[in-house]
Structure 1
Amino acid sequence: MHKIKIFFVFLMMSVAAFAQEEGTNFSIYYSSPKKYTIADIEVVGIRYLDTNVLIQVSGLTVGEEITVPGEEISNAIKKLWGNQMFSDVRIEATKVVGDQIWLQIQLQERPRLADVNFFGVSKSERDDITERVLLLKGSQVTDNQLINAERIISGIFHEKGFLNTEVNIVQRDDTSQVNSVILDIMVDKKEKVKVEQIVFHGVGNLSDSQLRKAMKKTNQRGIRNFFRTKKFLQDKYKEDKGLIIDKYNERGYRDATIVADTITPLPNSRVKIDIYLDEGDKYYFGDVRWMGNTVYPSDYLDAVLGVKKGDVFDQKTLNKRLNEDEDAVSNLYLDNGYLFFNLEPVEASIEDDTINYEMRIYEGTQATINKVIIEGNTKTHEHVARRELRTYPGDLFSKALIIRSVRELSQLGHFDPEAINPVPVPHPEDGTVDIKYELQEKANDQIELSGGWGARMFVGTIGLRFSNFSVRNILNKEAWRPLPTGDGQTLAIRAQTSGKFYNSYSLSFVEPWLGGKKPNSFSISLSRSRVNYSANNYYNSSYSPYGSGYSSYNYGYGYGYGYNYDYEESSADQIQITSSVSLGYGYRLKWPDDYFQVYHEVAYQRYKLQNMANYYYFLSDDNDDGSGQFNNLSFKTTFARNSVDQPLFPRSGSEFSLSLQFTPPFSLINGVDYSRTDLTSEERYSWIEYHKWKFKGGWYTPLSKNRNLVLRTNVEYGFLGYYDKDRRSPFERFRVGGSGMSGYNFYGADIVSLRGYQDYSMSPTTGSNMYDKVTLELRYPVTLKPSATIYVLGFMEGGNAWMNFEDYNPFDLKRSAGLGVRIFLPMFGLMGIDWGYGFDDINGDDSVSGSQFHFVIGQQF
């Protein structure tokens, strides 16, 4: 207001001066204002703004009659100041002729921001400030903007526990630009404020330790809180006060309140918190009366609710049993079509310490499904997704079947399981509901193109896995983008070679819905591998467990003298050629429930060996050198149940499988006496016979509220039996230990991982006929985005292997523990690395245990 008075004085002096210049007898006094007509308005001092707009903002117009002095000029100045765009506002009369007046609006724009400098912060903190404080170069700098900037910056560091942060913003002129300033933002974070002590007052029914444990983010110093954060965050402290009340409510103290709390600053950036409580009385559940229920009787609803008269009152438990749990009362109705169902729990009366409830139910009519809509499937054909759904038009609405449908869509692997969103669209007017499944495609085809160097030789691999292939569109040129996709079939091709030492080729195809009407799977696979151990000097060296004759244990590949690139093959070479073909057929069961599946497979393998006595010494005797052709015709049946919620990072559910693989009992029908010692290896094992039993079971249990911390529990057992003790199978045994990755010198064996030990170290060179294994594994995700799934893990593991049943001891386990990480990239599949520490020696040898690193490609443990 003081500035406006000065402007009026200046305006009167200017008008008087112009009046004298024009020779007009003109004088102006506050006591005798005079009316003038505005002849012209000029705006000066502006570089960036539109002068016409500013004149409109002032409210003055040419031709308008104003009083000088008067409110028109005063109001115009106030309006221009009100925009907060100017550091100086003046209105002067440049000329007066008679009753005509010429006005000049003189403005000084606020300075523009030329640059911002930060002091006392890291790059990431600077980026955070820049994102949340919009200090744009070229924009005007206002006092209000600077005040807000200081407040926001202080808040950023308060959120991180720096409660004593000081922010000072210095504004200085930019000498290189007119009317521009540079802001120097200086931040002194000081030390993080930590909680020294939390003291509770008025506590009698719960202990201080119980209340401190209830506070998740506000923790005082102490040994018990060694791994918990001690920093004090105001917003987290507010949440923790609510958790204290929740803790009381769980124990029946529904009237508990925090009367007051104080935060006292202490030296060394610490605070003491005093919390004053009024616990109130303890309450119990009384009678529960159901009203409006016609579908289910009250006794049945009482049993489902699970709350009995006399139980300690707990609002949280009541809400869970009514609405949140999988078997809650509301889900009982929602799974039976009652989409419009509503349940309102009302405290009917309170008698002393007992609360009586009325459960007021509105059942409504059963809703039927009208339309089932699928959106977001850009590559996968709609029938592939639709055939996995459990919700069909005309059926009653069911929340459980929607959840099951989401699970089945996740299992396909074509869609991001975190992004699958079922949206019911109810139509109360006709009692129907549309169900829309919003999907997001993710890439799940994989390519493997790699080269590795091990045992001083190069191993090259190329592999292609198309997980959403379409055979029916192979001849359709328009479907090749770059391959025909969308029908959910799997085609995998893989080749691996190290030159003359090792070559392997495989092809497999899986059709999950044979015929397209039922979930009956069909699979076929072909493979061939060839290993010439003589072409690698390592396997013939003293460093190798093979080159110097029979070795009781295989201690891994190691590194030796390497591959002989100039090697020429001869009849003395040690060569193994394995060819195999298999056909499989699987189908789902409806009993005991539809999570069960049965899979049948018939497979034929041919092992062609040359001079393999040192590798399969049990084939060698005085009659031959371990050469010959050996055939394996087997039949396999697997009975399995899989209810995990998603394949890549399961949070709940379980998976079990029991399999029996067997060959015909040739020794019982061919009349050959296999106790004879003159039989050659080829005569004894021309057609291999055995029966092989395997069991695997795994559970996934979420341990945190957000279901991200997951415990995986796993058990395994394997047994290889025989029909004739003189004809025990030399193949199909178990190799236990290490990463579980197959080695090309062990075709015809099951590879079983046991981290913390060297590869195959539990099993002798002959392999083992029995094994068992138990695993506890904690998992936590780093990211679950479609572009990459990454999680870290910690594990404890135990297992062992035995040759004979009489030696079997399920409690004699070789123990290990360690850490690891898994990375799933859609293009490359699953990869990982584990560090494990084996605590036990193997037959007195501790060199195969201890600290071990294991690399994982394309498999789960």
Structure 2
Amino acid sequence: MRSSGRLNFLLRLLSIGVLLLALTVQAHAQKSEADFSYATPRRVVIQDVTVSGVEYIDPRVLLQIVGLRKGDTISLPGNEITAAVKKLYSQSLFSNVSINLAHQESDHVVLDIHVEEQPRISRIEYVGVKRGARKDLGEKLSLKAGQQATEATLDQAKRTIEKYYLDKGYRHVKVSARKAVDAQNQNAVVVTFEVERGKKVKVKEIEFVGNTAFKAGKLRWKGFKKTKRINWNIFNSKKFIAENYKEDLKNLIDYYNKHGYRDAVVVRDSVYNINDKRVGIKVWLDEGGQYHIRDVKWVGNTVYPSPVLNQMLGMGASDVYDQELLHKRLFVDENSVSTMYMDEGYLFFNVQPVETNVANDSVTLEMRIVEGPQATISEVEILGNNRTNEHVIRRELRTYPGDLFSKTNIMRSLRELAALGYFNPETLGINPVPNVSDGTVKLQYTVEEKSADQLELSAGWGAGMFVGTLGVKFANFSVQRLFKKEAWRPIPSGDGQSLSIHWSTNGTQYQSLNFSFVEPWLGGRKPTSLSLSFLYSKYDYSKFLWNPSDDYFKIIGGAVGIGTRLQWPDDYFTIYGEVSYQHFVLRNWRDEFIFSNGRTNNLSLKLVWGRNSVDQPIYPRSGSNFSLSLQLTPPYSKFNGKDYSSPDMQPNERYKWIEYHKWTAKAQWYAALWGDLVLFLNAQLGYLGYYNKTVGYSPFEGFDVGGDGLAGYNYIYGREAVGLRGYANSSLTPRVQNGARMANIYDKFTVELRYPIILKPQSSIYALVFAEGGNAWYDLNKFNPFEIHRSVGAGVRVFLPMLGMLGFDIAYGFDPVVGNPDANKWQPHFLIGMPLQ
């Protein structure tokens, strides 16, 4: 009993001791927690910072990122620790980050930064994606091998892939991503995107509810510009694309606004599945009423009176309230109200149309004008020209320091820069930098250089044979730097001169050498051009290429020309004069001319008067190009004393010095119909006349009509080639005495629609469809402008800076050619190196 009681006493004593110890520890713990409470943070000094958990990242880099250093005073808890953790997470290098209190001694602490590194992507794989699409996605995805495989980056990648397929019409596409450990690389994963495209979804039906002003067909055609049931534009598919659909809903309301329905709204819309390949669209409309303009009032105008502004606006009382037209007449058109002000220097001009009274079906407009002061050009800066010398650019500008700001002069300057062909016309820009304090503006022209030089390796069918051409054209050459060693990179360039050399041949049968040089600014002060050219060609009358003969036709000649820009009627007009000489030698040359042996000389003066306002050379969208030319020789028969009526006169004597007067008129016109869809119209007329009826028509300098009109082969037979697609080469040139081909009058008409596929400095591609007609006659008395050979066709053009324009057309000629049954119907026209005419 006594021993049992002693044992119970000892157990009670031990229990009390354990309890007291636990209470002491708990109190200490509560005191420590109280020391670092968010309610009462403490200021402590960092004694040291350690790093744990890193495997592939240098700890010193990590310490530099967090910005916590030995000796810093921080708050615990506090913003410094929170900010350090955020910095580490923002690097996307870690999947988990914590900063722990490793040791504390009074107000000094040791911090440990513990991280778990995010695995890196070793490679990206695709399932359900075709090879071409993989390449496209590789360019579009920002996710690359070597990056961290975070959920955020994977989600972003999935959205990018989904959008890629949605834009291609796969409305039901599903994309998933998975990560798998890469056994071959430490801390690396392989990311695999699985794509279920589903089927392409196209629009089967588009229905409108509530439309009374316009029929559904009109709304589908004019309002829904990209979302179509049937799309005749082969370059814009009728597949359903959500972004295009949203844009077309806005276009639909814009169409209503254009016709005065200012209150028109889309009440709601629905895109519903008809099946897995077709969707239907239903749009509920509230058209509202059609509004007209009641009155237009101008407020704040002091430079121009209200009647002048009304005339410039071109909209007034009782006109349909067309908001699109109003915007164009105020701000966009070349002769808009804002352009009229800005051409007088009012750069800070602004006009705000305000609807002051909307009642019944009419709107009163108040045009609130802030004219501002006139701005003077303080400086003209050119940016981006790393090849073309600055003086070549400046001489084309119409804006000079000290002049008043002029929008028209700026647009004309941009047009002239595009016409040079040295810069990408799609990126030419102007950046006005105004200084309101002193009323000045600095103009910054931005250009992007592109290669204008061409290496021509071409092949084509012309003059009844296959001809290959090797040539070079340096469109931005510099003669002045020809003898400077540092300028040969690879050739002297930058002064805007043109130098070309071409050698054409098909072996022993035909050889031709052409050389030309153009200085566009002779003397450097005025736009007066100097042109020099040389031509040599020889054509052997060989039945087979490997069997050359002594029968040949040879031409040697040259020309010197001078042209300048005129100021009247406007400065788009130019005049050009040229003196040329050709020497023709014929030896047993049959069928092509009215004589087969002899020598002929052609000394002529050519005058060309024209106007060219085309906005750019590669893919014009606006402007026109008209020219009227006269080429004539001296009338030798009037003063040389020869009797040309004598039957004994031989042809080589009759045509020793040929005489003629040659007239040509050409007109080309470009207009953008809708976006980048361009209409091109072309009309040509040519006539070769004589001075003396007893001498007759010249055997040279006539026209050769039909086929591709390869400009490089114009002088194979001493004639001007005129292309007419849908017909074989030369097939429309009449045959006259001795079977010779001679056309002394022709006409040609073209209607062409062009649409671009790619417009970039590296390459420009556009497709075209056309209708063409024309004919050729021997004598003026037989000329009938309504007697034409007609054709239609389609083609494509590819412009590569180093090769020039490449083209292929397929055309169908409707009208048969007398004596040549195979000359019409389907005719291909293929070209490398030079454009079709």
Aligned equivalents of 2:111, 2:485: Cα separation in 1: 78
Q: Give yes or no for the alignment of 1:711 onto 2:679.
A: yes
Q: For structure 1, which segment, 376-385 or 734-743, has the greater mean C-alpha deviation from structure 2 after superposition?
A: 376-385
TM-score using structure 2 length: 0.84
- Shift, 1:65, TM fit: 14
- Shift, 1:428, TM fit: 2.1
Aligned to 1:463: 471
Q: Give yes or no for the alignment of 1:611 onto 2:588.
A: yes
Match of 1:279 among 287, 296, 299: 287
Percent identity between matched residues is 46
1:312-370 CA-partner distances (Å, limit 9, x unpaired): 21211111111111111111101111112111212222233221111111222222222
Aligned equivalents of 1:383, 1:825: Cα separation in 2: 27
Aligned to 1:731: 700
Q: Give yes or no for the alignment of 1:720 onto 2:688.
A: yes
- Shift, 1:45, TM fit: 5.3
Aligned equivalents of 2:247, 2:652: Cα separation in 1: 75
Aligned to 1:759: 729
Question: Tell me, what secondary structure is at the counterpart of 2:522?
Answer: coil
Aligned to 2:643: 673
Aligned equivalents of 2:516, 2:104: Cα separation in 1: 98
Q: Look up the equivalent residue of 2:498 and give its one-letter code.
A: T
Q: Give yes or no for the alignment of 1:773 onto 2:748.
A: yes
Instruction: Verify the 8 A CA contact 1:195 1:218 in the aligned structure 2.
Output: no
Aligned to 2:663: 693
Question: Tell me, what secondary structure is at the counterpart of 2:674?
Answer: coil
Q: Look up the equivalent residue of 2:545 and give its one-letter code.
A: G
- Residues 495 and 78 of structure 1: CA distance in aligned 2, closer, same or farther (over 3 Å): closer
1:263-287 CA-partner distances (Å, limit 9, x unpaired): 3334334444332222223222111
Aligned equivalents of 1:232, 1:443: Cα separation in 2: 39
Aligned to 1:256: 264
User: How many residues get paired?
Assistant: 795
Match of 2:435 among 410, 423, 427: 427
1:86-140 CA-partner distances (Å, limit 9, x unpaired): 778999999999xx99999987656554544321122343345455555454555
Aligned to 1:599: 576
Aligned to 1:554: none
1:546-566 CA-partner distances (Å, limit 9, x unpaired): xxxxxxxxxxxxxxx4331xx
Q: For structure 1, which segment, 171-180 or 276-285, has the greater mean C-alpha deviation from structure 2 after superposition?
A: 171-180
| 1:403-442 alignment runs, 5 A limit | 403-442=411-450
Aligned equivalents of 2:516, 2:98: Cα separation in 1: 85
1:44-98 CA-partner distances (Å, limit 9, x unpaired): 655346779699989999999999xx999x999999998998778999999999x
Instruction: Verify the 8 A CA contact 1:339 1:367 in the aligned structure 2.
Output: yes
- Residues 817 and 490 of structure 1: CA distance in aligned 2, closer, same or farther (over 3 Å): same
- Residues 31 and 701 of structure 1: CA distance in aligned 2, closer, same or farther (over 3 Å): same
Aligned equivalents of 2:458, 2:211: Cα separation in 1: 65
Aligned to 1:388: 396
Q: For structure 1, which segment, 604-613 or 148-157, has the greater mean C-alpha deviation from structure 2 after superposition?
A: 148-157
Match of 2:608 among 631, 638, 654: 638
Question: Tell me, what secondary structure is at the counterpart of 1:491?
Answer: strand
Q: Give yes or no for the alignment of 1:662 onto 2:632.
A: yes
- Shift, 1:723, TM fit: 1.7
- Residues 366 and 71 of structure 1: CA distance in aligned 2, closer, same or farther (over 3 Å): closer
Question: Tell me, what secondary structure is at the counterpart of 1:727?
Answer: coil
Q: Look up the equivalent residue of 1:659 and give its one-letter code.
A: S
Q: Give yes or no for the alignment of 1:590 onto 2:558.
A: no
Instruction: Verify the 8 A CA contact 2:522 2:528 in the aligned structure 1.
Output: yes
- Shift, 1:219, TM fit: 4.1
Aligned equivalents of 1:562, 1:660: Cα separation in 2: 39
Instruction: Verify the 8 A CA contact 2:575 2:609 in the aligned structure 1.
Output: yes
Aligned to 1:546: none
Question: Tell me, what secondary structure is at the counterpart of 1:471?
Answer: coil
Q: Look up the equivalent residue of 2:763 and give its one-letter code.
A: A
- Residues 215 and 803 of structure 1: CA distance in aligned 2, closer, same or farther (over 3 Å): same
Q: For structure 1, which segment, 140-149 or 48-57, has the greater mean C-alpha deviation from structure 2 after superposition?
A: 48-57
- Shift, 1:215, TM fit: 4.0
Q: Look up the equivalent residue of 2:289 and give its one-letter code.
A: D
- Residues 451 and 398 of structure 1: CA distance in aligned 2, closer, same or farther (over 3 Å): closer
Aligned to 2:43: none
1:803-859 CA-partner distances (Å, limit 9, x unpaired): 122221111111122222323333333332322222221115321122222233334
Aligned equivalents of 1:363, 1:393: Cα separation in 2: 22
Aligned equivalents of 1:56, 1:517: Cα separation in 2: 61
Aligned to 2:4: none
Match of 1:297 among 302, 305, 308: 305
- Shift, 1:386, TM fit: 1.7
| 1:319-718 alignment runs, 5 A limit | 319-448=327-456, 461-497=469-505, 500-533=508-541, 536=542, 538=543, 561-564=544-547, 567=548, 573-616=550-593, 618-619=594-595, 626-705=596-675, 708-718=676-686
Aligned equivalents of 1:522, 1:41: Cα separation in 2: 78
- Shift, 1:658, TM fit: 0.9
| 1:39-50 alignment runs, 5 A limit | 46-48=54-56
Match of 1:797 among 772, 779, 783: 772
1:198-221 CA-partner distances (Å, limit 9, x unpaired): 333333333222322244366464
Q: Look up the equivalent residue of 2:582 and give its one-letter code.
A: Q
Q: Look up the equivalent residue of 1:588 and give its one-letter code.
A: R
- Residues 340 and 168 of structure 1: CA distance in aligned 2, closer, same or farther (over 3 Å): closer
Pairwise CA RMSD = 4.1
TM-score using structure 1 length: 0.82
Instruction: Verify the 8 A CA contact 2:222 2:255 in the aligned structure 1.
Output: yes
Q: Give yes or no for the alignment of 1:782 onto 2:757.
A: yes
Q: For structure 1, which segment, 647-656 or 373-382, has the greater mean C-alpha deviation from structure 2 after superposition?
A: 373-382
- Shift, 1:737, TM fit: 0.9
Aligned equivalents of 2:397, 2:86: Cα separation in 1: 64
Aligned equivalents of 1:485, 1:478: Cα separation in 2: 11
Q: Give yes or no for the alignment of 1:858 onto 2:834.
A: yes
Instruction: Verify the 8 A CA contact 1:214 1:240 in the aligned structure 2.
Output: no
Q: Look up the equivalent residue of 2:614 and give its one-letter code.
A: V
- Long gaps (5+) in structure 2: 1-19, 37-46
Match of 2:719 among 746, 749, 773: 749
Q: Give yes or no for the alignment of 1:212 onto 2:220.
A: yes
Instruction: Verify the 8 A CA contact 1:419 1:440 in the aligned structure 2.
Output: yes
Instruction: Verify the 8 A CA contact 2:169 2:241 in the aligned structure 1.
Output: yes
1:759-816 CA-partner distances (Å, limit 9, x unpaired): 1111123311111111112222333333333322222211111112222111111112
- Shift, 1:175, TM fit: 4.5
1:474-509 CA-partner distances (Å, limit 9, x unpaired): 455554445443332223333345565333333332
Q: For structure 1, which segment, 375-384 or 661-670, has the greater mean C-alpha deviation from structure 2 after superposition?
A: 375-384
- Residues 759 and 57 of structure 1: CA distance in aligned 2, closer, same or farther (over 3 Å): closer
1:149-185 CA-partner distances (Å, limit 9, x unpaired): 5444434433433232223334444445566544443
Q: Look up the equivalent residue of 2:791 and give its one-letter code.
A: S
- Shift, 1:672, TM fit: 2.9
- Residues 500 and 107 of structure 1: CA distance in aligned 2, closer, same or farther (over 3 Å): closer
- Residues 374 and 576 of structure 1: CA distance in aligned 2, closer, same or farther (over 3 Å): same
Match of 1:827 among 788, 791, 802: 802
Q: For structure 1, which segment, 86-95 or 381-390, has the greater mean C-alpha deviation from structure 2 after superposition?
A: 86-95
Aligned equivalents of 1:144, 1:259: Cα separation in 2: 36
Aligned to 1:6: none
Instruction: Verify the 8 A CA contact 1:58 1:80 in the aligned structure 2.
Output: no
- Residues 723 and 179 of structure 1: CA distance in aligned 2, closer, same or farther (over 3 Å): closer
Instruction: Verify the 8 A CA contact 2:227 2:248 in the aligned structure 1.
Output: no
Aligned equivalents of 1:160, 1:455: Cα separation in 2: 46
Instruction: Verify the 8 A CA contact 1:456 1:563 in the aligned structure 2.
Output: no
